[in-house]
C-alpha cells in the first residue's frame, strides 16, 4: 500500500512506504537491529516492528499478535529475521504462513562476492514442498506438484532477473531424466519462456551436475532457475562455496507483496554470543530498498541500496572487519556498526 508524500517544502513529510519488520528468534534480534536502524533513518519509510515467533509464543501463548496478518497485508514490503517453529505442538511455521499470505512464488538468492557471481531463482509455491503427504500402512508418500503456470512464472522471473542484474545465461536445473512428468513439464515451459528472451542464452543441467559446477566454477553458471527442493539445497551449497551462509539474503516475490530475510536459520547455538554475521540482515535490507525503488521509481532508495552494497563490500572484503564465520574476531555489533558508519560517509544525510 503506497502513500504519496504530503505537505510542501518545510513541512514534515508523511510516510510514503510502510515496511513491517519482524526481528525473529535466536540470532534474529541481534542482526536485525541493524536493518531496523537503517530503515528507521530513511525519510518516507514508516517502519512497523512486530514481535513474533518462539520467544513471543513462550511469553504470550500466541505465535504472533492478533493484527499481524492485517499489518503484513497492508505493508509495501516485509523484512524478517529467522523464525523458530516448535518441533512438537505449539504452532505451524510462521515463515510458511507469511509466504502463503503474500502468495510468494519466487525466491531469489544472489551469491555475489568479489570471487563469485551466481543467482539461484527458486520456485517456492509448489513442488515436493507442497505439503501433500501421508502415511499409508508401512509407506510414507509425498506428492510432487508442478503446474504449467508456476513453471512459466518462475522461468520468466529467472530471465527477468538475468536482464536486471546483467547476466547473459540462464540455466534450468532439473532431474527430467528420472522425473519425466514433473521436471519434464518444468523444462518444457522453461524453453518456451526462453523464446521471449533471445539475447539471453538458455541451457539446462541435471541438478546434481549443477551442484558440481557450483563448487567448481559458480561464476560460469549465471542465473540458475529451479524447483523448490532443488533450490533449497543448491542455495546452501552456493553459500558455503561463496564464504558463509551469514553473508546472504533472500528476496521473495509474491502476488500480494514481497518478503526479505537472511537465508540462514535461527542459530540458537550461538544466540547471545555476539558472533552472528549481520551482513545477511543488511543484504536483505539492500534488496528491500531495491524493490521499493524499482516498484515506485524512487531513485533515492535505489541510490541508498547501491551505497549499502558498496559499504558491505568495503567493510567485509577490503577492511576485513568480519565475524568468526569468515575467520575474523569482530563481534556482531562491531561489524554492523562498521557497515552503517561506512554507509553514512557515502550518504551523509543518513544517520543510522
pLDDT given at position 3: 39
Tell me what the mean pLDDT of segment 242-251 comes to: 95
Taking 90 as the threshold, does the pLDDT of residue 349 lie above it? no
Tell me what the mean pLDDT of segment 184-205 comes to: 98
Taking 90 as the threshold, does the pLDDT of residue 1 lie above it? no
Query: What are the pLDDT digits (tens) for 83-101?
Result: 999 988 889 999 999 999 9
pLDDT given at position 352: 78
pLDDT given at position 6: 35
Q: Taking Cα atoms as reference points, which of 105, 52, 108 lies closest to residue 266?
A: 52
Q: Do the domains 1-104+254-352 and 114-242 sit in the same CATH topology, yes or no? A: yes
Q: Which long-range contacts (CB under 8 A, 24 or more apart) does 234-240 make?
A: 234/120, 234/173, 234/207, 234/210, 235/109, 235/120, 235/122, 235/263, 237/211, 238/109, 238/111, 238/118, 238/120, 238/214, 239/111, 239/263
Q: Specify the CATH number for 1-104+254-352; select among 3.40.50.2300, 3.40.190.10, 3.90.550.10, 3.40.718.10.
A: 3.40.718.10
pLDDT given at position 115: 79
Domain boundaries along the sequence of the chain: 1-104+254-352, 114-242
Q: Distance of alpha carbon 29 from its chain centroid, rounded?
A: 17
Task: Please give the helix or strand (H or E) that residue 97 lies within, else none.
Answer: helix 94-102
Tell me what the mean pLDDT of segment 262-272 comes to: 96
pLDDT given at position 14: 55
- Between CA 105 and CA 12 the distance in angstroms is 38
Q: How confident is the model at residue 131 (pLDDT cuts 50, 70, 90)?
A: confident
**Residue spans of beta strands (DSSP E) within the chain:** 17-22, 45-49, 77-80, 104-112, 117-123, 133-136, 139-142, 169-174, 201-206, 222-226, 249-254, 258-262
Q: What percent of the chain has pLDDT over 90?
A: 89
Q: What percent of the chain has pLDDT over 70?
A: 96
Q: Taking Cα atoms as reference points, which of 206, 184, 204, 202 lies closest to residue 193?
A: 202
Taking 80 as the threshold, does the pLDDT of residue 15 lie above it? no
CATH homologous superfamily of 114-242 equals Isopropylmalate Dehydrogenase (3.40.718.10)
Amino acid at each position: 500500500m503506497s502513500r504519496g508524500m504530503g505537505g510542501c517544502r518545510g513541512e514534515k513529510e508523511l510516510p510514503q512506504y510502510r515496511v513491517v519488520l519482524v526481528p525473529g528468534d535466536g540470532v534474529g534480534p541481534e542482526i536485525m537491529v541493524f536493518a531496523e536502524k537503517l530503515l528507521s533513518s530513511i525519510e518516507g519509510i514508516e517502519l512497523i516492528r512486530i514481535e513474533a515467533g518462539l520467544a513471543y509464543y513462550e511469553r504470550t501463548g500466541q505465535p504472533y499478535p492478533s493484527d499481524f496478518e492485517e499489518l503484513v497485508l497492508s505493508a509495501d514490503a516485509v523484512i524478517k529475521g529467522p523464525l523458530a517453529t516448535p518441533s512438537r505442538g505449539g504452532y505451524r511455521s510462521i515463515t510458511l504462513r507469511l509466504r502463503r499470505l503474500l502468495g510468494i512464488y519466487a525466491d531469489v538468492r544472489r551469491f555475489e562476492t568479489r570471487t563469485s557471481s551466481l543467482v539461484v531463482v527458486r520456485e517456492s509455491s509448489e513442488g515436493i514442498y507442497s505439503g501433500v503427504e501421508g502415511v499409508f500402512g508401512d509407506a510414507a508418500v509425498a506428492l510432487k506438484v508442478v503446474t504449467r503456470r508456476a513453471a512459466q512464472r518462475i522461468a520468466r522471473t529467472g530471465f527477468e532477473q538475468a536482464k536486471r542484474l546483467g547476466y547473459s545465461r540462464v540455466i534450468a536445473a532439473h532431474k527430467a531424466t528420472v522425473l519425466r512428468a514433473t521436471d519434464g513439464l518444468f523444462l518444457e515451459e522453461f524453453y518456451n519462456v526462453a523464446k521471449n528472451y533471445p539475447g539471453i542464452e538458455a541451457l539446462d543441467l541435471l541438478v546434481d551436475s549443477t551442484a558440481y559446477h557450483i563448487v567448481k566454477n559458480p561464476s560460469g553458471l549465471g542465473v540458475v532457475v529451479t524447483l523448490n527442493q532443488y533450490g533449497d539445497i543448491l542455495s546452501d551449497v552456493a553459500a558455503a562455496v561463496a564464504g558463509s551462509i551469514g553473508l546472504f539474503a533472500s528476496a521473495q516475490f509474491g502476488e500480494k507483496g514481497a518478503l526479505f530475510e537472511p537465508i540462514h536459520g535461527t542459530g540458537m547455538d550461538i544466540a547471545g554470543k555476539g558472533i552472528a554475521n549481520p551482513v545477511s540482515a543488511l543484504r536483505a535490507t539492500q534488496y528491500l530498498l531495491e524493490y521499493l525503488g524499482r516498484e515506485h521509481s524512487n531513485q533515492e532508495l535505489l541510490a541508498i541500496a547501491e551505497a549499502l552494497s558498496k559499504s558491505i563490500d568495503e567493510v567485509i572484503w577490503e577492511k576485513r572487519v568480519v565475524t568468526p564465520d569468515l575467520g575474523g574476531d569482530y563481534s556482531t555489533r562491531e561489524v554492523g556498526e562498521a557497515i552503517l558508519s561506512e554507509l553514512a560517509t557515502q550518504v551523509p544525510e543518513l544517520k543510522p
